[in-house]
Structure 1
Amino acid sequence: MFDPILLQTFVAVAGSRSFTGAAVHLRLGQSTVSQHIRRLEVSVGRRLLVRDTHSVMLTPDGEAMLGFARSILDANERARSYLQGARLSGRIRFGASEDFVTTRLADVLHKFTERHPSVELELTVALSSTLFDLLDEGALDLVIAKRRVGLNQQREARSGVAVRTERLVWAARDPSVVEAGKPLPLILFSRPGITRVAAIEALDRKGIPWRIVCTSGSLSGLQAAARAGLGIMVQPRSMVSSGLMVLPTSPQLPQLEEVEFILTSAANEPTGVAAALAKEILDRNARQEFELPFREAV
Protein backbone atom coordinates (compact mmCIF):
# COMPACT_ATOMS: atom_id res chain seq x y z
CA MET A 1 0.00 0.00 0.00
CA PHE A 2 1.42 3.37 -1.00
CA ASP A 3 0.79 6.34 1.26
CA PRO A 4 -1.36 8.85 -0.71
CA ILE A 5 0.39 11.76 1.01
CA LEU A 6 3.75 10.57 -0.31
CA LEU A 7 2.25 10.03 -3.76
CA GLN A 8 0.77 13.52 -3.76
CA THR A 9 4.15 15.01 -2.93
CA PHE A 10 5.87 12.92 -5.62
CA VAL A 11 3.38 14.00 -8.30
CA ALA A 12 3.73 17.64 -7.28
CA VAL A 13 7.53 17.44 -7.58
CA ALA A 14 7.29 15.63 -10.92
CA GLY A 15 4.79 18.15 -12.27
CA SER A 16 6.80 21.23 -11.31
CA ARG A 17 10.24 19.61 -11.72
CA SER A 18 11.09 21.41 -8.50
CA PHE A 19 11.17 20.55 -4.80
CA THR A 20 10.70 24.24 -4.03
CA GLY A 21 7.68 24.57 -6.32
CA ALA A 22 6.08 21.47 -4.82
CA ALA A 23 6.67 22.78 -1.30
CA VAL A 24 4.98 26.09 -2.13
CA HIS A 25 1.98 24.41 -3.73
CA LEU A 26 1.52 21.84 -0.96
CA ARG A 27 2.28 24.41 1.76
CA LEU A 28 4.98 22.20 3.21
CA GLY A 29 8.58 22.85 4.15
CA GLN A 30 11.13 21.87 1.54
CA SER A 31 12.72 19.45 4.01
CA THR A 32 9.34 17.74 4.44
CA VAL A 33 9.01 17.35 0.66
CA SER A 34 12.49 15.77 0.56
CA GLN A 35 11.55 13.40 3.40
CA HIS A 36 8.36 12.35 1.59
CA ILE A 37 10.32 11.53 -1.57
CA ARG A 38 12.92 9.53 0.36
CA ARG A 39 10.19 7.56 2.18
CA LEU A 40 8.43 6.79 -1.09
CA GLU A 41 11.66 5.63 -2.73
CA VAL A 42 12.34 3.36 0.25
CA SER A 43 8.80 1.99 0.00
CA VAL A 44 9.13 1.38 -3.75
CA GLY A 45 12.69 0.14 -3.52
CA ARG A 46 13.68 2.15 -6.59
CA ARG A 47 15.20 5.54 -7.37
CA LEU A 48 12.43 7.75 -8.72
CA LEU A 49 14.07 11.16 -9.07
CA VAL A 50 17.51 12.46 -9.96
CA ARG A 51 18.17 15.88 -8.47
CA ASP A 52 21.02 18.35 -8.95
CA THR A 53 21.45 22.03 -8.13
CA HIS A 54 19.54 23.13 -11.24
CA SER A 55 16.89 20.55 -12.09
CA VAL A 56 14.86 17.52 -11.06
CA MET A 57 14.48 14.64 -13.53
CA LEU A 58 12.42 11.47 -13.41
CA THR A 59 14.19 8.14 -13.71
CA PRO A 60 12.58 5.49 -15.97
CA ASP A 61 11.08 3.94 -12.81
CA GLY A 62 9.92 7.41 -11.80
CA GLU A 63 8.14 7.85 -15.14
CA ALA A 64 6.30 4.57 -14.58
CA MET A 65 5.51 5.42 -10.97
CA LEU A 66 4.09 8.79 -12.00
CA GLY A 67 1.34 7.13 -14.02
CA PHE A 68 0.51 4.74 -11.18
CA ALA A 69 0.51 7.58 -8.63
CA ARG A 70 -1.89 9.70 -10.67
CA SER A 71 -4.27 6.76 -11.06
CA ILE A 72 -4.18 5.97 -7.34
CA LEU A 73 -4.79 9.60 -6.35
CA ASP A 74 -7.59 9.95 -8.87
CA ALA A 75 -9.28 6.79 -7.56
CA ASN A 76 -8.93 8.06 -3.98
CA GLU A 77 -10.52 11.37 -4.93
CA ARG A 78 -13.44 9.69 -6.71
CA ALA A 79 -14.08 7.47 -3.69
CA ARG A 80 -13.85 10.40 -1.29
CA SER A 81 -16.26 12.49 -3.35
CA TYR A 82 -18.77 9.64 -3.58
CA LEU A 83 -18.69 8.65 0.08
CA GLN A 84 -18.55 12.07 1.70
CA GLY A 85 -22.25 12.22 2.40
CA ALA A 86 -24.55 14.79 0.85
CA ARG A 87 -23.99 15.43 -2.83
CA LEU A 88 -22.67 18.84 -3.74
CA SER A 89 -25.31 20.97 -5.45
CA GLY A 90 -25.93 24.56 -6.41
CA ARG A 91 -24.61 26.95 -9.05
CA ILE A 92 -21.09 28.20 -9.69
CA ARG A 93 -20.44 31.20 -11.94
CA PHE A 94 -16.87 30.56 -13.02
CA GLY A 95 -14.68 32.84 -15.12
CA ALA A 96 -11.48 31.79 -16.87
CA SER A 97 -9.02 33.43 -19.23
CA GLU A 98 -9.20 31.90 -22.68
CA ASP A 99 -5.62 30.64 -22.85
CA PHE A 100 -6.10 28.67 -19.63
CA VAL A 101 -9.45 27.26 -20.79
CA THR A 102 -8.11 25.98 -24.09
CA THR A 103 -4.94 24.43 -22.71
CA ARG A 104 -5.55 23.44 -19.09
CA LEU A 105 -9.13 23.42 -17.99
CA ALA A 106 -11.20 21.11 -20.21
CA ASP A 107 -10.31 17.92 -18.33
CA VAL A 108 -10.70 19.63 -14.94
CA LEU A 109 -14.20 20.88 -15.75
CA HIS A 110 -15.17 17.51 -17.21
CA LYS A 111 -14.07 15.67 -14.07
CA PHE A 112 -15.73 18.23 -11.80
CA THR A 113 -19.13 18.04 -13.51
CA GLU A 114 -18.85 14.24 -13.69
CA ARG A 115 -18.25 14.01 -9.94
CA HIS A 116 -20.84 16.64 -9.07
CA PRO A 117 -23.73 16.19 -11.54
CA SER A 118 -26.07 18.27 -9.36
CA VAL A 119 -23.88 21.37 -9.70
CA GLU A 120 -24.87 23.91 -12.36
CA LEU A 121 -21.70 25.29 -13.93
CA GLU A 122 -21.87 28.65 -15.71
CA LEU A 123 -18.62 29.41 -17.54
CA THR A 124 -17.51 32.86 -18.70
CA VAL A 125 -14.42 33.11 -20.91
CA ALA A 126 -12.85 36.56 -21.32
CA LEU A 127 -9.74 38.68 -20.91
CA SER A 128 -8.33 38.66 -17.38
CA SER A 129 -9.15 42.33 -16.80
CA THR A 130 -12.77 41.73 -17.83
CA LEU A 131 -13.04 38.74 -15.50
CA PHE A 132 -11.73 40.76 -12.55
CA ASP A 133 -14.30 43.47 -13.31
CA LEU A 134 -17.12 40.91 -13.41
CA LEU A 135 -15.92 39.44 -10.12
CA ASP A 136 -15.91 42.89 -8.51
CA GLU A 137 -19.45 43.50 -9.83
CA GLY A 138 -20.71 40.28 -8.25
CA ALA A 139 -21.38 38.62 -11.61
CA LEU A 140 -18.87 35.79 -10.97
CA ASP A 141 -18.12 33.59 -7.95
CA LEU A 142 -14.66 32.26 -8.86
CA VAL A 143 -12.07 33.37 -11.41
CA ILE A 144 -8.81 31.98 -12.74
CA ALA A 145 -6.92 34.64 -14.63
CA LYS A 146 -3.51 36.15 -15.32
CA ARG A 147 -1.83 38.94 -13.43
CA ARG A 148 1.54 40.52 -14.01
CA VAL A 149 4.21 39.65 -11.46
CA GLY A 150 5.91 42.29 -9.33
CA LEU A 151 3.70 45.28 -10.07
CA ASN A 152 2.12 47.53 -7.46
CA GLN A 153 -1.02 48.63 -9.29
CA GLN A 154 -4.19 47.86 -7.39
CA ARG A 155 -5.47 45.53 -10.10
CA GLU A 156 -2.28 43.51 -10.17
CA ALA A 157 -2.06 43.38 -6.37
CA ARG A 158 -5.38 41.62 -5.87
CA SER A 159 -5.27 38.62 -3.58
CA GLY A 160 -5.64 35.07 -4.75
CA VAL A 161 -4.13 31.60 -4.65
CA ALA A 162 -1.28 31.14 -7.12
CA VAL A 163 -1.87 28.27 -9.55
CA ARG A 164 1.29 28.61 -11.62
CA THR A 165 3.80 31.19 -12.82
CA GLU A 166 5.01 31.23 -16.42
CA ARG A 167 7.23 33.40 -18.55
CA LEU A 168 5.70 35.03 -21.60
CA VAL A 169 7.37 34.14 -24.90
CA TRP A 170 7.29 35.25 -28.52
CA ALA A 171 5.60 32.69 -30.79
CA ALA A 172 5.19 32.53 -34.56
CA ARG A 173 4.85 30.13 -37.46
CA ASP A 174 8.56 30.47 -38.20
CA PRO A 175 11.41 32.90 -37.49
CA SER A 176 11.18 34.52 -40.93
CA VAL A 177 8.47 36.90 -39.67
CA VAL A 178 11.26 38.82 -37.92
CA GLU A 179 12.90 40.89 -40.66
CA ALA A 180 15.92 43.04 -39.96
CA GLY A 181 15.27 46.74 -40.39
CA LYS A 182 11.48 46.39 -40.41
CA PRO A 183 8.98 47.03 -37.57
CA LEU A 184 8.07 43.89 -35.67
CA PRO A 185 4.61 42.63 -36.82
CA LEU A 186 2.53 42.02 -33.68
CA ILE A 187 -0.58 39.89 -33.21
CA LEU A 188 -2.21 41.08 -29.99
CA PHE A 189 -5.25 40.77 -27.79
CA SER A 190 -7.57 43.78 -27.70
CA ARG A 191 -7.00 46.43 -25.03
CA PRO A 192 -6.36 46.07 -22.12
CA GLY A 193 -4.94 42.56 -22.53
CA ILE A 194 -2.06 41.73 -20.18
CA THR A 195 0.08 40.09 -22.87
CA ARG A 196 -0.54 43.08 -25.15
CA VAL A 197 0.71 45.56 -22.55
CA ALA A 198 3.70 43.38 -21.61
CA ALA A 199 4.83 43.03 -25.24
CA ILE A 200 4.53 46.72 -26.12
CA GLU A 201 6.27 47.85 -22.93
CA ALA A 202 9.17 45.42 -23.50
CA LEU A 203 9.67 46.65 -27.07
CA ASP A 204 9.37 50.33 -26.15
CA ARG A 205 11.96 49.96 -23.37
CA LYS A 206 14.46 48.71 -25.95
CA GLY A 207 13.41 51.22 -28.62
CA ILE A 208 12.40 48.43 -31.01
CA PRO A 209 9.93 49.55 -33.73
CA TRP A 210 6.69 47.59 -34.04
CA ARG A 211 3.33 47.61 -35.79
CA ILE A 212 0.09 45.78 -35.07
CA VAL A 213 -1.02 43.47 -37.89
CA CYS A 214 -3.89 41.75 -36.07
CA THR A 215 -6.00 42.52 -33.01
CA SER A 216 -8.61 40.16 -31.57
CA GLY A 217 -10.44 39.47 -28.34
CA SER A 218 -10.34 35.78 -29.26
CA LEU A 219 -7.35 33.51 -28.75
CA SER A 220 -8.42 31.37 -31.71
CA GLY A 221 -8.33 34.48 -33.90
CA LEU A 222 -4.81 35.33 -32.75
CA GLN A 223 -3.61 31.77 -33.28
CA ALA A 224 -5.10 31.66 -36.79
CA ALA A 225 -3.27 34.86 -37.70
CA ALA A 226 0.00 33.54 -36.27
CA ARG A 227 -0.34 30.20 -38.10
CA ALA A 228 -0.97 32.14 -41.31
CA GLY A 229 2.42 33.77 -40.84
CA LEU A 230 1.10 37.31 -40.38
CA GLY A 231 3.29 38.08 -37.39
CA ILE A 232 4.26 37.27 -33.81
CA MET A 233 2.00 36.67 -30.82
CA VAL A 234 2.76 36.53 -27.08
CA GLN A 235 1.70 33.64 -24.84
CA PRO A 236 2.68 31.94 -21.59
CA ARG A 237 5.39 29.48 -22.55
CA SER A 238 3.58 26.17 -22.04
CA MET A 239 0.39 27.45 -23.67
CA VAL A 240 1.80 28.03 -27.14
CA SER A 241 -0.38 26.00 -29.49
CA SER A 242 0.67 23.41 -32.06
CA GLY A 243 1.67 24.85 -35.41
CA LEU A 244 3.66 27.62 -33.73
CA MET A 245 7.20 27.77 -32.41
CA VAL A 246 8.77 29.69 -29.56
CA LEU A 247 11.25 32.23 -30.90
CA PRO A 248 14.47 32.79 -28.92
CA THR A 249 15.23 36.19 -27.49
CA SER A 250 17.40 38.43 -29.66
CA PRO A 251 18.16 42.14 -30.15
CA GLN A 252 14.79 42.41 -31.91
CA LEU A 253 12.93 40.15 -29.44
CA PRO A 254 13.66 41.13 -25.82
CA GLN A 255 12.96 38.78 -22.95
CA LEU A 256 9.41 39.12 -21.70
CA GLU A 257 8.17 39.16 -18.11
CA GLU A 258 6.48 36.43 -16.10
CA VAL A 259 2.76 36.25 -15.48
CA GLU A 260 0.95 34.43 -12.72
CA PHE A 261 -2.32 32.55 -12.93
CA ILE A 262 -4.34 32.99 -9.75
CA LEU A 263 -7.61 31.71 -8.37
CA THR A 264 -9.62 34.43 -6.70
CA SER A 265 -13.19 34.55 -5.45
CA ALA A 266 -15.87 37.05 -4.55
CA ALA A 267 -15.54 36.05 -0.88
CA ASN A 268 -12.32 36.22 1.11
CA GLU A 269 -12.21 32.44 0.99
CA PRO A 270 -14.28 30.40 -1.50
CA THR A 271 -16.94 28.26 0.12
CA GLY A 272 -19.30 25.50 -0.97
CA VAL A 273 -19.29 24.80 -4.69
CA ALA A 274 -16.65 27.48 -5.37
CA ALA A 275 -14.31 25.90 -2.81
CA ALA A 276 -14.80 22.46 -4.35
CA LEU A 277 -14.00 23.71 -7.86
CA ALA A 278 -10.96 25.65 -6.60
CA LYS A 279 -9.63 22.50 -4.91
CA GLU A 280 -10.17 20.48 -8.08
CA ILE A 281 -8.21 22.99 -10.15
CA LEU A 282 -5.31 23.16 -7.69
CA ASP A 283 -5.14 19.40 -7.19
CA ARG A 284 -5.28 18.60 -10.90
CA ASN A 285 -2.72 21.27 -11.69
CA ALA A 286 -0.31 19.75 -9.16
CA ARG A 287 -0.83 16.21 -10.49
CA GLN A 288 -0.74 16.92 -14.22
CA GLU A 289 2.45 16.70 -16.25
CA PHE A 290 1.92 19.32 -18.90
CA GLU A 291 3.16 18.55 -22.38
CA LEU A 292 4.43 21.43 -24.48
CA PRO A 293 2.89 21.28 -28.00
CA PHE A 294 5.21 23.83 -29.59
CA ARG A 295 8.57 23.67 -31.33
CA GLU A 296 11.63 25.60 -30.27
CA ALA A 297 13.19 27.76 -32.98
CA VAL A 298 16.95 27.32 -33.24
Structure 2
Amino acid sequence: MLNPIWLKTFATVAACHSFTEAGRQLGLTQSSVSEHIRRLEDSVGRRLFVRDTHSIAMTPDGEAMLAHASVILQAMARAESQFRGPRLKGRVRLGSSDDVALGPLPAVLAAFRNAHPDVELEITIAMTGKLYELLDAGSIDLMVGKRRMGGRRGVPLFTSRLDWLAKAGTLVDLTQPLPLILVAEPSVTRSVVLDALAEKGVRWQVVCTSSSYAGCVAAARGGLGVTVRSQYLAARGLTPPVNIASLPSLPDVEFICLAAKRLSRPAGTLLQLLQESDLRGDWVGE
Protein backbone atom coordinates (compact mmCIF):
# COMPACT_ATOMS: atom_id res chain seq x y z
CA MET A 1 0.00 0.00 0.00
CA LEU A 2 1.32 3.47 -0.90
CA ASN A 3 1.43 5.42 2.35
CA PRO A 4 0.86 9.11 1.56
CA ILE A 5 3.44 10.12 4.17
CA TRP A 6 6.07 8.07 2.39
CA LEU A 7 4.99 9.54 -0.96
CA LYS A 8 5.30 13.10 0.38
CA THR A 9 8.79 12.37 1.70
CA PHE A 10 9.75 10.73 -1.60
CA ALA A 11 8.49 13.71 -3.65
CA THR A 12 10.35 16.15 -1.40
CA VAL A 13 13.62 14.22 -1.73
CA ALA A 14 13.15 14.10 -5.51
CA ALA A 15 12.59 17.87 -5.61
CA CYS A 16 15.61 18.91 -3.52
CA HIS A 17 17.99 16.01 -4.38
CA SER A 18 18.97 15.67 -0.74
CA PHE A 19 17.83 13.57 2.19
CA THR A 20 19.14 16.20 4.59
CA GLU A 21 17.32 19.10 2.92
CA ALA A 22 14.15 17.05 2.60
CA GLY A 23 14.27 16.37 6.34
CA ARG A 24 14.71 20.06 7.04
CA GLN A 25 11.70 21.00 4.89
CA LEU A 26 9.52 18.28 6.39
CA GLY A 27 10.68 18.67 9.98
CA LEU A 28 12.08 15.13 10.03
CA THR A 29 15.43 13.66 10.95
CA GLN A 30 17.57 12.30 8.12
CA SER A 31 17.11 8.80 9.51
CA SER A 32 13.30 9.22 9.33
CA VAL A 33 13.55 10.34 5.72
CA SER A 34 15.70 7.32 4.91
CA GLU A 35 13.22 5.04 6.69
CA HIS A 36 10.27 6.44 4.68
CA ILE A 37 12.11 5.89 1.40
CA ARG A 38 13.17 2.38 2.41
CA ARG A 39 9.63 1.39 3.34
CA LEU A 40 8.24 2.84 0.10
CA GLU A 41 10.82 0.91 -1.91
CA ASP A 42 10.01 -2.26 0.02
CA SER A 43 6.29 -1.68 -0.61
CA VAL A 44 6.67 -1.51 -4.39
CA GLY A 45 9.63 -3.87 -4.62
CA ARG A 46 11.70 -1.43 -6.69
CA ARG A 47 14.71 0.85 -6.16
CA LEU A 48 13.61 4.44 -6.47
CA PHE A 49 16.93 6.19 -5.82
CA VAL A 50 20.56 5.46 -6.57
CA ARG A 51 22.65 7.16 -3.94
CA ASP A 52 26.20 7.32 -2.62
CA THR A 53 27.97 9.58 -0.13
CA HIS A 54 28.02 12.52 -2.56
CA SER A 55 24.98 12.34 -4.83
CA ILE A 56 21.46 11.04 -5.26
CA ALA A 57 19.59 10.25 -8.48
CA MET A 58 16.25 8.73 -9.34
CA THR A 59 16.05 5.41 -11.10
CA PRO A 60 13.62 4.94 -14.04
CA ASP A 61 11.22 3.38 -11.52
CA GLY A 62 11.69 6.43 -9.31
CA GLU A 63 10.74 8.73 -12.19
CA ALA A 64 7.61 6.67 -12.81
CA MET A 65 6.75 6.75 -9.10
CA LEU A 66 7.15 10.53 -9.01
CA ALA A 67 4.49 10.94 -11.70
CA HIS A 68 2.04 8.82 -9.69
CA ALA A 69 3.00 10.48 -6.40
CA SER A 70 2.31 13.94 -7.81
CA VAL A 71 -1.21 12.96 -8.92
CA ILE A 72 -1.99 11.25 -5.60
CA LEU A 73 -0.71 14.12 -3.46
CA GLN A 74 -2.56 16.74 -5.52
CA ALA A 75 -5.81 14.76 -5.22
CA MET A 76 -5.35 14.47 -1.47
CA ALA A 77 -4.70 18.20 -1.17
CA ARG A 78 -7.93 18.99 -3.04
CA ALA A 79 -9.92 16.58 -0.86
CA GLU A 80 -8.45 18.00 2.34
CA SER A 81 -9.18 21.54 1.17
CA GLN A 82 -12.83 20.72 0.54
CA PHE A 83 -13.48 18.96 3.83
CA ARG A 84 -11.29 21.17 6.00
CA GLY A 85 -13.49 24.22 5.51
CA PRO A 86 -17.05 24.67 6.77
CA ARG A 87 -19.86 23.14 4.71
CA LEU A 88 -21.31 25.52 2.17
CA LYS A 89 -24.81 26.77 2.95
CA GLY A 90 -27.09 29.23 1.26
CA ARG A 91 -28.76 29.62 -2.11
CA VAL A 92 -27.52 29.97 -5.68
CA ARG A 93 -29.77 31.54 -8.32
CA LEU A 94 -28.66 30.07 -11.64
CA GLY A 95 -30.00 31.06 -15.03
CA SER A 96 -29.65 28.71 -17.98
CA SER A 97 -30.66 28.78 -21.59
CA ASP A 98 -33.03 26.03 -22.69
CA ASP A 99 -30.49 24.20 -24.83
CA VAL A 100 -27.82 24.07 -22.11
CA ALA A 101 -30.41 22.76 -19.63
CA LEU A 102 -31.32 19.99 -22.08
CA GLY A 103 -27.66 19.13 -22.61
CA PRO A 104 -24.65 19.29 -20.31
CA LEU A 105 -26.03 21.20 -17.31
CA PRO A 106 -27.50 18.24 -15.35
CA ALA A 107 -24.07 16.62 -14.92
CA VAL A 108 -22.63 19.83 -13.48
CA LEU A 109 -25.57 20.29 -11.12
CA ALA A 110 -25.23 16.70 -9.89
CA ALA A 111 -21.53 17.20 -9.15
CA PHE A 112 -22.26 20.44 -7.29
CA ARG A 113 -25.11 18.90 -5.30
CA ASN A 114 -23.03 15.88 -4.30
CA ALA A 115 -20.23 18.12 -3.04
CA HIS A 116 -22.47 20.74 -1.38
CA PRO A 117 -25.78 19.15 -0.31
CA ASP A 118 -26.72 22.06 1.98
CA VAL A 119 -26.87 24.63 -0.83
CA GLU A 120 -30.29 25.35 -2.34
CA LEU A 121 -30.35 25.75 -6.13
CA GLU A 122 -32.89 28.05 -7.77
CA ILE A 123 -32.83 27.54 -11.54
CA THR A 124 -34.39 29.89 -14.09
CA ILE A 125 -34.72 28.69 -17.70
CA ALA A 126 -34.97 31.44 -20.29
CA MET A 127 -33.56 32.69 -23.57
CA THR A 128 -30.02 34.01 -23.27
CA GLY A 129 -31.12 37.57 -23.99
CA LYS A 130 -33.58 37.41 -21.08
CA LEU A 131 -30.90 35.92 -18.83
CA TYR A 132 -28.66 38.92 -19.51
CA GLU A 133 -31.51 41.18 -18.37
CA LEU A 134 -32.11 39.13 -15.21
CA LEU A 135 -28.41 39.18 -14.34
CA ASP A 136 -28.14 42.92 -14.85
CA ALA A 137 -31.23 43.40 -12.66
CA GLY A 138 -29.73 41.30 -9.86
CA SER A 139 -32.43 38.62 -10.14
CA ILE A 140 -29.93 35.80 -10.71
CA ASP A 141 -26.36 35.25 -9.50
CA LEU A 142 -24.87 33.63 -12.58
CA MET A 143 -25.93 32.33 -15.97
CA VAL A 144 -24.94 29.91 -18.71
CA GLY A 145 -26.06 30.69 -22.24
CA LYS A 146 -24.61 31.66 -25.57
CA ARG A 147 -23.36 34.62 -27.54
CA ARG A 148 -22.34 35.43 -31.07
CA MET A 149 -18.78 34.55 -32.00
CA GLY A 150 -16.55 37.44 -31.01
CA GLY A 151 -18.90 38.69 -28.28
CA ARG A 152 -17.29 40.07 -25.16
CA ARG A 153 -19.69 39.32 -22.31
CA GLY A 154 -19.01 36.13 -20.39
CA VAL A 155 -16.30 33.50 -20.16
CA PRO A 156 -16.32 31.04 -23.11
CA LEU A 157 -17.10 27.42 -22.24
CA PHE A 158 -17.30 25.80 -25.69
CA THR A 159 -18.28 26.51 -29.29
CA SER A 160 -21.06 24.82 -31.25
CA ARG A 161 -22.33 24.94 -34.83
CA LEU A 162 -25.99 25.67 -35.55
CA ASP A 163 -27.78 23.07 -37.71
CA TRP A 164 -30.96 23.13 -39.79
CA LEU A 165 -33.47 20.47 -38.72
CA ALA A 166 -36.91 19.42 -39.92
CA LYS A 167 -39.29 16.47 -39.97
CA ALA A 168 -37.58 13.46 -41.54
CA GLY A 169 -37.83 13.51 -45.34
CA THR A 170 -38.54 17.24 -45.59
CA LEU A 171 -37.70 18.78 -48.97
CA VAL A 172 -37.64 22.57 -48.69
CA ASP A 173 -39.33 24.39 -51.57
CA LEU A 174 -36.70 26.99 -52.41
CA THR A 175 -39.10 28.90 -54.67
CA GLN A 176 -41.08 29.89 -51.59
CA PRO A 177 -40.06 31.79 -48.43
CA LEU A 178 -38.24 29.50 -46.01
CA PRO A 179 -40.76 28.44 -43.30
CA LEU A 180 -38.99 29.12 -40.02
CA ILE A 181 -39.68 27.81 -36.53
CA LEU A 182 -37.72 29.95 -34.07
CA VAL A 183 -37.56 30.79 -30.39
CA ALA A 184 -38.95 34.14 -29.32
CA GLU A 185 -36.96 37.31 -28.82
CA PRO A 186 -34.63 38.12 -27.19
CA SER A 187 -32.71 35.16 -28.64
CA VAL A 188 -29.12 34.87 -29.83
CA THR A 189 -30.05 31.91 -32.07
CA ARG A 190 -32.97 33.78 -33.67
CA SER A 191 -30.91 36.86 -34.48
CA VAL A 192 -28.00 34.80 -35.82
CA VAL A 193 -30.30 32.81 -38.12
CA LEU A 194 -32.16 35.84 -39.48
CA ASP A 195 -28.92 37.76 -40.05
CA ALA A 196 -27.43 34.80 -41.95
CA LEU A 197 -30.50 34.54 -44.21
CA ALA A 198 -30.54 38.26 -44.86
CA GLU A 199 -26.86 38.25 -45.75
CA LYS A 200 -27.45 35.50 -48.34
CA GLY A 201 -30.59 37.13 -49.69
CA VAL A 202 -32.82 34.21 -48.71
CA ARG A 203 -36.53 34.97 -48.25
CA TRP A 204 -38.15 33.60 -45.13
CA GLN A 205 -41.40 33.51 -43.19
CA VAL A 206 -41.61 32.83 -39.46
CA VAL A 207 -44.43 30.28 -39.27
CA CYS A 208 -44.06 29.47 -35.57
CA THR A 209 -42.50 31.17 -32.56
CA SER A 210 -41.98 29.38 -29.24
CA SER A 211 -40.74 30.41 -25.83
CA SER A 212 -38.62 27.25 -25.68
CA TYR A 213 -36.61 24.92 -27.88
CA ALA A 214 -38.92 22.09 -26.87
CA GLY A 215 -41.78 23.98 -28.53
CA CYS A 216 -39.71 24.48 -31.68
CA VAL A 217 -38.92 20.78 -31.83
CA ALA A 218 -42.61 19.89 -31.42
CA ALA A 219 -43.60 22.22 -34.26
CA ALA A 220 -40.86 20.86 -36.51
CA ARG A 221 -41.93 17.29 -35.77
CA GLY A 222 -45.39 18.32 -36.88
CA GLY A 223 -43.99 19.37 -40.24
CA LEU A 224 -44.67 23.11 -39.86
CA GLY A 225 -41.24 24.10 -41.16
CA VAL A 226 -37.52 24.08 -40.39
CA THR A 227 -35.88 24.95 -37.09
CA VAL A 228 -32.34 25.35 -35.77
CA ARG A 229 -30.55 23.54 -32.97
CA SER A 230 -27.02 23.55 -31.63
CA GLN A 231 -24.91 20.82 -33.21
CA TYR A 232 -24.23 19.03 -29.90
CA LEU A 233 -27.95 18.63 -29.15
CA ALA A 234 -29.79 16.05 -31.20
CA ALA A 235 -33.57 16.06 -31.46
CA ARG A 236 -35.33 12.75 -31.93
CA GLY A 237 -37.56 12.65 -34.98
CA LEU A 238 -35.76 15.52 -36.72
CA THR A 239 -33.10 15.38 -39.43
CA PRO A 240 -31.50 17.91 -41.80
CA PRO A 241 -33.76 18.72 -44.80
CA VAL A 242 -33.14 16.54 -47.85
CA ASN A 243 -31.78 19.54 -49.77
CA ILE A 244 -29.76 20.90 -46.84
CA ALA A 245 -26.90 21.80 -49.17
CA SER A 246 -29.11 24.46 -50.76
CA LEU A 247 -29.64 26.26 -47.45
CA PRO A 248 -27.10 28.82 -46.23
CA SER A 249 -24.60 27.55 -43.68
CA LEU A 250 -25.02 28.98 -40.20
CA PRO A 251 -22.23 30.45 -38.07
CA ASP A 252 -20.95 29.01 -34.82
CA VAL A 253 -22.08 30.34 -31.47
CA GLU A 254 -20.15 30.38 -28.20
CA PHE A 255 -21.60 29.02 -24.98
CA ILE A 256 -20.53 31.12 -22.03
CA CYS A 257 -20.98 31.63 -18.31
CA LEU A 258 -21.38 35.03 -16.74
CA ALA A 259 -21.64 36.07 -13.10
CA ALA A 260 -22.73 39.06 -11.08
CA LYS A 261 -20.01 41.37 -9.78
CA ARG A 262 -20.50 40.19 -6.22
CA LEU A 263 -21.03 36.51 -5.56
CA SER A 264 -21.75 34.55 -2.43
CA ARG A 265 -19.34 31.74 -1.64
CA PRO A 266 -21.79 29.07 -2.88
CA ALA A 267 -22.36 30.95 -6.15
CA GLY A 268 -18.63 31.46 -6.63
CA THR A 269 -18.05 27.75 -6.06
CA LEU A 270 -20.61 26.79 -8.71
CA LEU A 271 -19.09 29.32 -11.13
CA GLN A 272 -15.66 27.74 -10.66
CA LEU A 273 -17.13 24.28 -11.28
CA LEU A 274 -18.77 25.48 -14.51
CA GLN A 275 -15.54 27.01 -15.74
CA GLU A 276 -13.49 23.92 -14.92
CA SER A 277 -15.97 21.38 -16.32
CA ASP A 278 -15.69 20.12 -19.88
CA LEU A 279 -19.21 20.87 -21.06
CA ARG A 280 -18.59 19.55 -24.54
CA GLY A 281 -19.73 16.03 -25.29
CA ASP A 282 -22.50 13.93 -26.74
CA TRP A 283 -25.90 14.68 -25.26
CA VAL A 284 -29.19 13.72 -26.81
CA GLY A 285 -32.01 16.13 -26.12
CA GLU A 286 -35.69 15.60 -26.63
What TM bracket, shorter-length normalisation? 0.5 to 0.7
**Aligned residue-pair number:** 215
1:210 is matched with: 204
1:84-99 mapped onto 2 (5 Å cutoff): 84-99=84-99
Distance 1:186 1:78, change over 3 A: farther
1:197-252: per-residue Cα shift (whole Å, max 9, x none)?
A: 1111111111112111210011111111112222111122112322222457533x
CA contact (8 A) 1:177 1:230 kept: no
Letter in 1 for 2:183: F
CA contact (8 A) 2:162 2:251 kept: yes
> Please, what TM-score do these two structures have when normalized by structure 1?
0.65
Letter in 1 for 2:272: K
Question: Aligned partners of 1:189, 1:104: CA distance in 2, in Å?
Answer: 20
Q: Does 1:282 pair with 2:275?
A: yes
Letter in 1 for 2:218: A
Distance 1:273 1:175, change over 3 A: same
Q: Does 1:117 pair with 2:117?
A: yes
Question: Aligned partners of 1:148, 1:179: CA distance in 2, in Å?
Answer: 29
RMSD: 2.8
Letter in 2 for 1:291: D
> Please, what TM-score do these two structures have when normalized by structure 2?
0.67
Letter in 1 for 2:215: G
1:129-150: per-residue Cα shift (whole Å, max 9, x none)?
A: 1100111111111111111113
For 2:131, what is the secondary structure of its paired residue? Answer: helix
For 2:185, what is the secondary structure of its paired residue? Answer: coil
Higher Cα Rg, which structure = 2
CA contact (8 A) 2:220 2:238 kept: yes
1:272 is matched with: 265
CA contact (8 A) 2:129 2:185 kept: no
Q: Does 1:138 pair with 2:138?
A: yes
Given the alignment, which residue of 222, 245, 254 partners 1:250?
A: 245
Determine what percentage of the aligned residue pairs are the same residue.
40
CA contact (8 A) 1:177 1:229 kept: no
For 2:261, what is the secondary structure of its paired residue? Answer: coil
Distance 1:97 1:80, change over 3 A: farther
For 1:145, what is the secondary structure of its paired residue? Answer: strand
CA contact (8 A) 2:180 2:226 kept: yes
2:32 is matched with: none
Distance 1:77 1:227, change over 3 A: farther
Distance 1:116 1:226, change over 3 A: same
1:32-43 mapped onto 2 (5 Å cutoff): none
Unmatched tracts of structure 2, length 5 or more: 3-62, 65-71
Q: Does 1:104 pair with 2:133?
A: no
1:178-203: per-residue Cα shift (whole Å, max 9, x none)?
A: 12312211110112211111111111
Distance 1:86 1:198, change over 3 A: same
Unmatched tracts of structure 1, length 5 or more: 2-41, 44-71, 151-155
Letter in 2 for 1:123: I
Q: Does 1:291 pair with 2:282?
A: yes
- Structure 1 stretches of 4+ with a deviation exceeding 6 A read 75-78
Report deviation, 1:281: 2.1
2:127 is matched with: 127
CA contact (8 A) 1:177 1:232 kept: no
For 2:250, what is the secondary structure of its paired residue? Answer: coil
2:255 is matched with: 261
Question: Aligned partners of 2:81, 2:142: CA distance in 1, in Å?
Answer: 21
Question: Aligned partners of 1:228, 1:199: CA distance in 2, in Å?
Answer: 21
